[in-house]
Amino acid sequence: MTVKKIIATITASAILALIAGIAVTAFSFGLFAPVSGKQAAAAATAQTGGYADDVEFEYGYHTGSRYEVDVIAGGQKHEVIVDANNGKVLAVKSKYHKQHDNAHEPAPAVLAQDNG
């Protein structure tokens, strides 16, 4: 092989590795998922009320693509699992969440007045 062919081969390999790295990173952030993180948060809050605190895309070999959405509602933290392919809520795990200064969520008494 000539020096030019070796350099061309190394350059092509580096470019392919870069493209593969970008694709893997994009996939890990859920950029190829049919459902966006914003849509997953909307599905989660529709199920539990409150507001979405955090949205994370996850992919598991056996579980597939999904979002874990942390929702704060009614003094509880809900971990909502949303299917990244169709936006359906798959599971909700709830636990008590100590409320500090929760400016995003009205007090329960205010909610009762608004709905009354």
Cα–Cα separations (whole angstroms), residue 106 to 12, 20, 97: 57, 46, 15
Q: What is the Cα–Cα distance from 66 to 96, expressed in whole angstroms?
A: 24
pLDDT digits (tens, 9 = 90+) for 87-113: 999 999 988 655 554 555 554 444 444
Instruction: Write down the pTM of the prediction.
Output: 0.62
pLDDT digits (tens, 9 = 90+) for 41-54: 999 999 999 999 99
Beta bridge partners of 78: 71, 94
77 neighbors 94 (Cβ within 8 angstroms): yes
